[in-house]
Structure 1
């Protein structure tokens, strides 16, 4: 499959070191807003939207993590970014892992949030893909967003929950389903040992999608990786516990 020209944007000082942020499945670059004030003080932040998300094109058919990673590599080449730190959450974390293993000289530091090297059962992701293709992304919102936040946060900040649900509904069915297929088939366990960048793996204590055991296994497979858990959050830990995640990122990225 051909490379897709991803929608992207830069923020922060023009000549500062680049930090690439990769979002979760069904979300756009807006999920990183809680990190922007901290990261843009000393870094040039590059945000992207995966295939079919935002204004990024969505080819028909199933995608793979390698194809999503290839899109990002092509973007880095186009933007003349030879080396950068990479932060990913969920699907973005899988893509970030592929980048760091495939092109280790291009990734200076790596932070993986709420992600997994493999995420069974594949049948669940195949079912979500089929449902989106037949009935649109509106048909998956209720089920898919259930893991994003703890009930307490959802009650306190219904505005955030509603906004992200609306953004998911705007994601094209083709792009969402193709990315679900990528998650269904991913198995990066053999890639982990090839990651050379200093790595931090962060898991949320109350994440039902990728509970801490998944993060522990990633950290165990990457040489020298650091593992952190964050209390009081579910899958989108960078939003629900932005305070703690920002502390961890600033420390790990050295900015």
Structure 2
């Protein structure tokens, strides 16, 4: 499959070190808004949208992690970025790991949020892909989004959930399904030992999709990686506990 030209944007000081932000499956680059004030003080932030998210095209068919990673490499080459840090969440974290293992000399620092090297069971992702191709993201919105936040956060900030659900429902069905296929087949465990960038892995204490055991196994596979568990948050830990996540990211990536 040919490389897809991803939608992207830069924010922050023009000549500062670059950090690439890779979002969760089903979320757009707007999911990183809680991090932007802190990260853009000293870094030039590059945000992207996955295939079918926002303005990124969505070719039909199943995707692979390598194909999604190829989109990122093409963009980084287009932007002439030879050295950068990467922060990835969920699917974005798996792609960040792929990128750091494949291009160890280019990735300066790595931060992985609510993610895993391997996201079983494959049949769940295959089912979500099939349902989405048939009925669009509205067919799976309830199942997918109920893992994003704790009930206490939803009660306190229903506006944030409503906005993110609306964005999720606008994701192209082919793009979302194809990315589900990539997760079904994706397995980065053998690549972890090739990661050379200093890495922090962050899990959310109440994440029902990828509980902290996934993050611990991921950090154990990456040489020298540090593992952190953030309390009071579900899968979208960077939104629900932006205060703590920002502390961790700034200390790790902007140092």
Large movers: runs of 4+ above 6 Å: none
In 1, distance between residues paired with 2:12 and 2:124?
Answer: 39
In 1, distance between residues paired with 2:222 and 2:64?
Answer: 22
The Cα offsets for residues 153-177 of structure 1, whole Å up to 9 and x where unpaired, read as 0111110000000001000000000
> Which SS does the other structure have where 2:146 is aligned?
helix
The answer to whether the aligner puts 1:241 opposite 2:235 as a matched pair is no
In 1, distance between residues paired with 2:199 and 2:214?
Answer: 15
Partner of 1:203: 203
8 Å contact from structure 2 (residues 42, 254) kept in 1: no
In 2, distance between residues paired with 1:119 and 1:73?
Answer: 23
The Cα offsets for residues 211-241 of structure 1, whole Å up to 9 and x where unpaired, read as 0000000110000000000000000000000
In 2, distance between residues paired with 1:90 and 1:13?
Answer: 27
> Which SS does the other structure have where 1:99 is aligned?
helix
Write out aligned runs for 1:155-174 (5 A): 155-174=155-174
Write out aligned runs for 1:1-12 (5 A): 1-12=1-12
In 1, distance between residues paired with 2:56 and 2:244?
Answer: 31
- Normalised by the length of structure 2, the TM-score is 0.99
How far is the alpha carbon of 1:254 from its aligned partner?
A: 2.8
How far is the alpha carbon of 1:146 from its aligned partner?
A: 1.0
| Alignment gaps of 5+ in structure 1 | none
| Alignment gaps of 5+ in structure 2 | none
> Which SS does the other structure have where 2:45 is aligned?
strand
- Normalised by the length of structure 1, the TM-score is 0.99
Q: How many residues align?
A: 255
> Which SS does the other structure have where 2:56 is aligned?
coil
